[in-house]
Amino acid sequence: MKRKVCVVVASRANYGRIKYVMRAVQQHPDLELQLIVGASTLLERYGRSVDIIRREGFEPDRSIFYVVEGETPLTQAKSTGLGIVELSTAFQDLQPDMVVTVADRYETMSSAIAASYMNIPLVHVQGGEVSGNIDDRVRHAITKLADIHFPCTEQSRERLIRMGEDEHRVFNHGCPAMDVIANEDTSIDNEIMAGYGGVGTSIDWTRPYILMVQHPVTTSYGDGMNQVMETLHALCEFPGHQKVVLWPNSDAGSEDVAKGIRVFRERGEASGFHFYRNFSPEDYVRVLANAKACVGNSSSFIREGSFLGVPAVVVGDRQRNREHGGNVVFADYTQASVKDAIERQLAARAYEHDSLFGFGDAGRKIADTLATIDLNYQKSNSY
Amino acid sequence: MKRKVCVVVASRANYGRIKYVMRAVQQHPDLELQLIVGASTLLERYGRSVDIIRREGFEPDRSIFYVVEGETPLTQAKSTGLGIVELSTAFQDLQPDMVVTVADRYETMSSAIAASYMNIPLVHVQGGEVSGNIDDRVRHAITKLADIHFPCTEQSRERLIRMGEDEHRVFNHGCPAMDVIANEDTSIDNEIMAGYGGVGTSIDWTRPYILMVQHPVTTSYGDGMNQVMETLHALCEFPGHQKVVLWPNSDAGSEDVAKGIRVFRERGEASGFHFYRNFSPEDYVRVLANAKACVGNSSSFIREGSFLGVPAVVVGDRQRNREHGGNVVFADYTQASVKDAIERQLAARAYEHDSLFGFGDAGRKIADTLATIDLNYQKSNSY
Amino acid sequence: MKRKVCVVVASRANYGRIKYVMRAVQQHPDLELQLIVGASTLLERYGRSVDIIRREGFEPDRSIFYVVEGETPLTQAKSTGLGIVELSTAFQDLQPDMVVTVADRYETMSSAIAASYMNIPLVHVQGGEVSGNIDDRVRHAITKLADIHFPCTEQSRERLIRMGEDEHRVFNHGCPAMDVIANEDTSIDNEIMAGYGGVGTSIDWTRPYILMVQHPVTTSYGDGMNQVMETLHALCEFPGHQKVVLWPNSDAGSEDVAKGIRVFRERGEASGFHFYRNFSPEDYVRVLANAKACVGNSSSFIREGSFLGVPAVVVGDRQRNREHGGNVVFADYTQASVKDAIERQLAARAYEHDSLFGFGDAGRKIADTLATIDLNYQKSNSY
Amino acid sequence: MKRKVCVVVASRANYGRIKYVMRAVQQHPDLELQLIVGASTLLERYGRSVDIIRREGFEPDRSIFYVVEGETPLTQAKSTGLGIVELSTAFQDLQPDMVVTVADRYETMSSAIAASYMNIPLVHVQGGEVSGNIDDRVRHAITKLADIHFPCTEQSRERLIRMGEDEHRVFNHGCPAMDVIANEDTSIDNEIMAGYGGVGTSIDWTRPYILMVQHPVTTSYGDGMNQVMETLHALCEFPGHQKVVLWPNSDAGSEDVAKGIRVFRERGEASGFHFYRNFSPEDYVRVLANAKACVGNSSSFIREGSFLGVPAVVVGDRQRNREHGGNVVFADYTQASVKDAIERQLAARAYEHDSLFGFGDAGRKIADTLATIDLNYQKSNSY
C-alpha cells in the first residue's frame, strides 16, 4: 500500500518551497500525495496562490480558511489556534501516514502541533536555520515536534543534531526551492510577464530593473512603515533602473508595510516603480534571476539568490544571522545605508553559483527518503 | 512599576507545581500576580481544582473553558488550538510583562504559543526533563519558544543549554513542587482527610496504605484499560494494605483508564480500595508522604517521592527515562511485574531524602529572578 | 443529477428522530445522502451513538468533535460556536444541495447557522413546537433561518405559518420518529436486551417495569440534582415494579442530573433500579412500548408515548406547553406529586393509539418532498 | 445596584445606530454601561471605528478580534462561530444583567446566541424590519432569541407581535440612529472634513455633491463588481456634481465590490470622485444631510434619509421591501436605470422630514425602559 504523504501549503512562499517535493511524491510509485491548502493561499489579498497550485496540477483534498483578520501578533496567535482546530479534523479524515510542513511561520506551527499531537509522523523541511527573529523560535519548536528533518544546508543539519535530533532522521538533500530554478527555464521577456497586472509605471522586462521585496519583521511590529519607506527612497536614487516591488506576505505587520507603500505611491514618488501582488514560483524565479540586484529582506535573496548568483542587498535584522553565500551585502534600515549597498552590488554585477543550498534535486531525494524510512519510530529526546 | 507576572494554571497538576511560585510572586514587592485558570481546572470530572485555588487565596483574573471533549489525540490537538484562540485575548487584555507556563502538557503549549507569538516574554518551569513519551516533544518545543527557563534539576539545566538555550537565561532553583513539602505539615490523620468523598471501602489513614496513580500514556492510546487493570489486580495481592486510588488526569486516553477502573469496581473486585477524584496539592503530599509505597506512573513519585523518600513502583514507559532518585523501582504493565516490585519496595521501607529536586525554596528564588532579569532580550538561537 | 441531502446528526436523540428520513433519502432514486455526525454522537459518555449509526448502515462523510467540555450554559454556547466553525468547512467540501437539521438543541443551531449563512437551503424537521423552555427560542430561531419545514403536528404547522413562514414551504408529514415504531417490531425480551451493560439490579424485561428519563432543564440550571432525586425517591415507593433509568443527554446541567443519580446510588437507595447509558432508537422504543408507565421529562413520552399509548408522568416545566395526547399526566418536582401521578397512571394501564404525530410514514414523504420541491427559492419574510 | 447593560459593537454601522443608547445608559443613574467592541471595528481595512468610539468617550471593556478573513459566505459563518466562542467568555467575565445587540448582521448573531444560551436577557434593537435578503432571516432569528425588543417603526413593532413576541416586551421608541441627527449640528464645511484622507479628486464640501454607498448583497454573492460599476458609470453622467464614495462594509462580497471600485479607479474613470474609508457617525450624518442626492443601497438612505428628507436613489434588491418614507426612489442594477433615478431626484431637491423612524429621542427612552423592565421573565413562545 502506498504511503499517504499529506502536504500542508499555507502561503505563497510555502508553495514555492515545497512544490517539487509535491511533484516527486505525486510521481513516486510508493507514495500518494494528499494536499491541504489553507490560510493566505485562499485569500484575494495575497494573490490566491491556490489558483496557481490548481493550474499546476495539484488538486487540494481540503481547503481551510483560518486567517483571523487583524495582522497583529494577537491575530497571528489566533490564526494558529484556529488552524489547529481545523487541521486536526482534516488529518482525522485523511488519515495520512505522515504530514509534511515547511519552514517556520505560524501556519506551519498549526500543522506541526495538530500532527504531532495526533501521533502522525511529522516531516519538517527547512529546519535548523537561523535568521535572528521570532521565526527562529517557531522553526526550532517545530524541530522538537518533528520526526523526520530535511534541513537545506550542511550547517542546518549540524545544528539540528546539536539540538538533540537523531542524526539518522536528519537529511540534507539540499533545498527543494532550488528545484524550481534547476528544472525550469529562467529567462524572462515581456510576453511571459504580460498577465500580471499590478499598478505603477509599466516595466520593460528586457531592460535593467531592481527587485524589491520587504516583509514586516514580527519582533519590531510597528516600524514597518518607516523601514519600507527608507528602502523605497533609496531606490529612487537609481533612476536608470526600473523598480519591481512585491507586496508583503500575510503576517503581523504586513498591513503596516503595505501602508508605507501606499503612502509612497499616493505622494506621487513612485515614478519608475511597479507594484505586484504575486507571481507564480516559476515566474518569481525569473524575476529574481534576471534582476540587476535585489533589495529587501526576502529569504529568497539568500536562498535562490545564492544559487543564481544575484547581487542582493539584505536590509535590517530579519536575515542577519542566516547562513548565506557570497552574493549578499547587508544594510541598515536607512536610506543612506541601503543606497550604498545597492551601489556596491550594481558594480559587482553577477556572482558565481553557490551549492550552499544543494543541486536542485531535493524534491526527488526527499520523496525517496519518505518512501523508505522507518515510520514506527519512537523519538527518544533522551540525549 | 511592578512587573505583571501572568501564570496560567490549566490542570490540577499544574497548580501543585506552581503554587509556591504564585505565592512568592504575590508577596514580592516588585511583582504583581495575574492568574488565568483554564481547561480541566474548571471541570467537575477533574475535581474543579479552581475551587481549591480560590480557597487558598488566589482569585483568577480569567477563567477559560477550552477542553474539547473526546479525550483522544484529536481532541487534545483541538483543545490546544481553542486554548490559543482564547488565551491570546486574555493576554491582550491583561498586558502581562511575562507569562509563566509549567511543564509539558497540551494546555501548556497553548499558553506558550499565544505568549511567544504575541512577543510576551515566556517563562518555562520544569523544562529540560525527559520521560520518553510525547510530553518530551511538547516540553522541548516549549523550551524553544521560551525566553527564561527554570529547570528543576542540574541534569535538566545542562540539557537546555546543550539544546542551544542561553545559559544566562537558564536557572536551576530546584523544583517549586518541593516547596509544598518543605513548607507544610505532611502528617496525616482521618480528620484532615474527612472532607474528601470518593467511593469504595473507607480508609483509615493511620493504618498502612498503598497509593496508586496511573495516568494514560498518550503514545499508546487505547491500551489504558488493560494497563490499569494489571496494576489493580497486582494491588489485590496485598490484602494487608489499604489501597488509595486517584482517578486519572484529563488527557487523551483518560476515559480509557477511567473505564478500566469502573469495570474493576463493577466486577466487585475493589474490596479494600477507595477511589478519589482530587486532593489539594497539600493533602496530596500528605497522602504520598505517608504511603507505605506508591504505584503507577505519576511523575510525583519521582519528584516529590525522591524528596520524601517514599518507595515508588513506576509502571510502564511514561517516566522510564526520567532522572530519578534512589526511591524508584520500575515495573512492566503486567500484574506479575508490578506485584514483584511492590513486594521489594514494601520490604525497603523508607528511603533517604534526596536533593535532586532542590531544597524546597524554588518559588522564592524564581520570583527573585523574575523581578530582576532583563526583559528586553532578543533570543539569539544562533548557536 | 441527484440532489445531495446533507443530514447532520449531533446527538443520540437526533438520530432516533431522523433515521427514517436518512433511510428514505438513501433509497430515493433522485436523492443522495450525505451524513455528518458530530458532538455527543462521538463521545463515550453519551454512548457513542455513531457506532449504532454505522451498524445500521450509515457511513458518515465527516465526523466532527465540537463539544466544549463543561456542561454549563457557557460551554453550550461555545460548542455552538465551534460547531459552526467546523461544519462550515464540511459543507464547503461536501457541497450539499440542502442541509437537514432536526429539532431544537444547540448542535442543531450550529448546522442551521452554517448552512443559512452559506446560502444552502436549510430543511428543518420538528419545528413549530412549543415546550416552555429555552429550546423554544432555539427552535423558533431555526425556523426563521430555514427554507423548508417539516413540522410534526397540525398545530405546529399552523404556528409556523402564523410566525410568517410561507405555507407552500411548510409540510406536516407527521413525525419521522414514529416511523421507527411503525416499521419495527416493538416486543421486548431478555435476549434482545442482553447486550446493554449499565449498572444496578438486573432487569427481567418480561416483568413489569417503569421507565425513567429525566433531562436537565436548561433555564433552571443548578436545580437538576434535587429534581432528579425527588423523582428517584418517588419511584422507590413502587417496590413492585422494576425501575429502568436512562442517563441524561449532553446538555448544560446534565452533569448536575448525573450527580443526583450518582449520589442516590452511592447512598445505597437504588435497589430495584438499573441505569443505562444508551439504547439504539429501536430498542429504546421497545423499552418505552412495554413499560407500565414512563416518568420524567423526555419528549419521547409525549411523542412516541402518544403513538404507542404508554401512560406517561411528565415532571416539571420542560414539556409543560407541548401539544400532547391523552396518555400524559403532569407532575411537579416533588416526590409526593410524582408519586400520585404514577399511581394514577399505573391504574390507567394503556391508552389508545393517537395519530397526533402522524402515521409512521414521515421519512418517505419527506424524502419525496425534498426530491421535487423548488430549491431556487428566495425567502420573502415580508408578511 | 445598577443594572449592567452590555452593548456589543461589532461594526461601524452598529456604532452609529447604538451610540445614543450607549450614552443614555452611561448617564442613567440606575444603569451601568459595559462595552465590548469586536470584529470589523478593530480592523484597519474598515477604518478602525474603535478609535472613534474611544475618542467619543467610550472605553471598551473587551476588544475581540473575530473576523475570519475571506469575505465569503463560508468565512462569514466561521466568524459568527468564532465570535460566539469568544463573546461567551467575555459575558462570563462581565456578568451583565442584559446584552444589547443591534440589527441583523452576522456579528449580531454571535452576541445573540452567546447571550441567549447563557440565559442573559437579550435586548434587540431594530428588529422586525424586512429588506428582502438574507439579513431578514438573521434579524428574525435574533428576534426569536431575544427577550426585549426595540423596533424602530410602528410597522416593525406590529410584525414582531405577529411573529409571536409578547407585546409587553416590544417597544417602538423610534430609531436611535435618528438621535445622532436630532442632537448634533449637521452643517458641513471643509474644515470639519479636513481630517479624512481617502483618495481621489479633492472635495469642496460647500459645493454640490452626490453621496454613494453601495454594500455587497449577500444572496447574490459574485455580482458585486458589476453592480457597483453600473452605479459608478451612472454617476459619471453628472459631471456637474462632485461624487463622494464610501468603501463597503465588511461582509461576504465586500472584496468583490471593493474590486469594482479599484478597477474603476485604475482605468482612470474616477475623475470627480473621492473615496473614503470611514466617517464618524456624526460626520456621516453631515455628509448625508448635505448631499444633493444619495445613491446606492445603504439602509441609512431610508432611515436617516427620511428623517432628513434627502433625495435617495436605492439601487437593487437589498432594501426593496423595507418600509420607507417619501424620499426614496428605486432603481435597477443598470447604468440607465440609476441615471434616470438620479435625474428625477436631483430635480426633486429636498423632501419634508418624516417621523417614520421617531423623534430622535430613542436612546433615552430605551435606557429608561431597560432600567425598569422586569428581567425575571420567562419567554412563553406558546402563542
Residue A294: exposed, middle, or buried by beta-carbon count in 10 A (0-12, 13-18, 19+)?
buried
**Looking at beta carbons, which residues of chain A come within 8 Å of D72?**
65
Whether C366 contacts C174, CB under 8 Å: no
Query: Mutation test of the interface with chain A: which of C35, C68, C85, choosing the one with the most A Cβ atoms within 10 A?
Result: C85
User: Of D262 and A363, which is predicted with more confidence?
Assistant: A363
| pLDDT tens profile C74-111 | 999 999 999 999 999 999 999 999 999 997 787 789 99
DSSP characters over A293-312: EEEE--HHHHHHHHHHT--E
DSSP code of residue C355: G
C-beta atoms surrounding A154 within 10 Å = 14
In this structure, the strands spanning D62-64 and B98-102 are: unpaired
pLDDT > 80? residue B382: no
CB contact under 8 A, C68 and B70: no
In this structure, the strands spanning B199-200 and B273-276 are: antiparallel
Query: Mutation test of the interface with chain D: which of B65, B93, B118, choosing the one with the most D Cβ atoms within 10 A?
Result: B93
pLDDT > 80? residue C250: no
| pLDDT tens profile B261-317 | 888 988 888 899 999 988 887 899 999 999 999 999 988 899 899 999 999 999 987
Grid cell locating C98: 440542502
Lowest mean pLDDT among A283-292, B35-44, B209-218, C312-321: C312-321
User: Of D378 and D211, which is predicted with more confidence?
Assistant: D211
**Looking at beta carbons, which residues of chain D come within 8 Å of A82?**
68, 82
Q: How far is CA B381 from CA A239, A300, A316, B284, in A?
A: 40, 21, 17, 40
DSSP SS3 for B148 = strand
pLDDT > 70? residue D318: no
User: Which range has highest mean pLDDT (B369-383, C87-101, C122-136, D6-20)?
Assistant: C87-101
| pLDDT tens profile B195-207 | 888 888 899 999 9
D293-298 mean pLDDT: 94
CA distance D42 to D14: 13
CA distance A153 to A150: 9
B22-26 mean pLDDT: 97
Residues composing chain D: 383
Q: Nearest CA of chain C to the CA of B74: how many Å?
A: 9
- What pLDDT is attached to residue B218? 62
Q: Which residues pair with D294 in a beta bridge?
A: D211, D312
**Looking at beta carbons, which residues of chain C come within 8 Å of A63?**
92-93
Grid cell locating B219: 503514545
Whether C55 contacts C27, CB under 8 Å: no
| pLDDT tens profile C29-84 | 999 999 999 999 999 888 889 999 999 999 999 999 999 999 789 999 999 999 99
CA distance B330 to B131: 13
CB contact under 8 A, C65 and B69: yes
**Looking at beta carbons, which residues of chain B come within 8 Å of D38?**
none
Name chain A's partners: 3 or more CB pairs within 8 A. B, C, D
**Position B353 confidence tier, pLDDT thresholds 50, 70, 90:** confident
DSSP SS3 for A31 = strand
Measured over the CA atoms of residue B264, residue B265, residue B269 and residue B275, the dihedral's sign is: positive
- Return the HEC string of chain D: CCEEEEEEECCHHHHHHHHHHHHHHHHCCCEEEEEEEEHHHHCHHHCCHHHHHHHCCCCCCEEECCCECCCCHHHHHHHHHHHHHHHHHHHHHHCCCEEEEECCCHHHHHHHHHHHHCCCCEEEECCCCCCCCHHHHHHHHHHHHCCEEECCCHHHHHHHHHCCCCHHHECCCCCCHHHHHHHCCCCCCHHHHCCCCCEECCCCCCCCEEEEECCCCHHHCCCHHHHHHHHHHHHHCCCCCEEEEECCCCCCCHHHHHHHHHHHHHCCCCCCEEEECCCCHHHHHHHHHCCCEEEECCHHHHHHHHHHCCCEEEECCCCCCCCCCCCEEEECCCHHHHHHHHHHHHHHCCCCCCHHHCCCCHHHHHHHHHHHCCCCCCCCCCC
Helix segments in chain C, DSSP class H: 12-27, 49-55, 73-94, 106-117, 134-145, 154-162, 177-183, 190-193, 224-236, 254-266, 281-289, 299-308, 335-348, 362-372
| pLDDT tens profile A263-277 | 898 888 889 999 998
User: Which range has highest mean pLDDT (A348-357, B190-199, C250-259, D229-238)?
Assistant: D229-238
Please give the ipTM for the structure prediction: 0.82
- What pLDDT is attached to residue A275? 93
pLDDT > 90? residue D269: no
Whether B272 contacts B239, CB under 8 Å: yes
CA distance B156 to A382: 11
Nearest alpha carbon to residue B21 among B95, B86, B83, B98: B98
Please give the biggest Cα pair distance in chain B: 61
Going through B186-326 in order, the beta strands assigned E by DSSP cover 199-200, 209-213, 242-246, 273-276, 293-296, 312-315
- Phi/psi of residue A37, nearest 5 degrees: -110, 145
Q: For residue A138, give the H/E element and its range.
A: helix A134-145
Query: Mutation test of the interface with chain D: which of C64, C69, C78, choosing the one with the most D Cβ atoms within 10 A?
Result: C78
Mean pLDDT score of chain C: 91
CA distance B232 to B245: 9
- Residue showing cell 511529522: A122
Q: At what angle do helices D254-266 and D224-236 cross, to 10 degrees?
A: 40
- What pLDDT is attached to residue B248? 82
Question: Which domains occur in chain A, in start order?
Answer: 3-176+360-372 (3.40.50.2000), 190-357 (3.40.50.2000)
CA distance A351 to B180: 64
Contacts of D320 (CB under 8 A, 6+ apart): D131, D132, D314, D330
| pLDDT tens profile D76-103 | 999 999 999 999 999 999 999 999 999 7
Going through chain B in order, the beta strands assigned E by DSSP cover 3-9, 31-38, 62-64, 98-102, 122-125, 148-150, 199-200, 209-213, 242-246, 273-276, 293-296, 312-315, 328-331
CA distance B114 to B111: 5
**Looking at beta carbons, which residues of chain C come within 8 Å of A86?**
85-86, 89
- What pLDDT is attached to residue B9? 96
Query: What global pTM score does this model have?
Result: 0.85
In this structure, the strands spanning A148-150 and A122-125 are: parallel
Measured over the CA atoms of residue D290, residue D292, residue D298 and residue D302, the dihedral's sign is: positive
- What pLDDT is attached to residue A219? 57
A198: left (phi over 0), alpha (psi -120 to 50) or beta: left
pLDDT > 90? residue C143: yes
Grid cell locating D368: 429608561
| pLDDT tens profile C277-307 | 888 878 999 999 999 999 999 888 998 999 9
CB contact under 8 A, A45 and D69: yes
Name chain C's partners: 3 or more CB pairs within 8 A. A, B, D
Contacts A–B by Cβ distance under 8 A: 154
Q: Which residues pair with A275 in a beta bridge?
A: A199, A245
Task: Give the percent of chain B with pLDDT over 90.
Answer: 66
B59-82 mean pLDDT: 94
Contacts of C161 (CB under 8 A, 6+ apart): C167, C170
**Position B336 confidence tier, pLDDT thresholds 50, 70, 90:** very high
Grid cell locating B314: 513506576
CA distance D303 to D288: 11
Low-confidence residues of chain A: pLDDT under 70: 132, 218-222, 250-252, 318-321, 380-383
| pLDDT tens profile B129-180 | 887 677 789 999 999 999 999 999 999 999 999 999 999 999 999 999 899 8
Tell me which residue in C42, C71, C72 faces B70 most closely, judged by beta carbons.
Answer: C42
Collect contacts of B262-267 with beta carbons under 8 A, ≥24 apart: B263/B225, B263/B229, B264/B228, B264/B229, B264/B232, B265/B199, B265/B200, B266/C199
Measure the CA angle with vertex B127, ends B122 and B129; round to 5°.
170
CB contact under 8 A, D266 and A199: yes
- Residue showing cell 423610534: D174
Residue B186: exposed, middle, or buried by beta-carbon count in 10 A (0-12, 13-18, 19+)?
middle
How many C-alpha atoms does A372 have within 13 Å on its Cβ side?
A: 7
CA distance A154 to A167: 12
Mean pLDDT score of chain B: 91
- What pLDDT is attached to residue B221? 63
Closest-approach residue (CA) in chain A for C65: A89
Residue type (1 letter), A241? H
CA distance D308 to D306: 5
DSSP code of residue A320: T
- Residue showing cell 505560524: A106
B236-264 mean pLDDT: 86
- What pLDDT is attached to residue B58? 97
CB contact under 8 A, B86 and D82: no
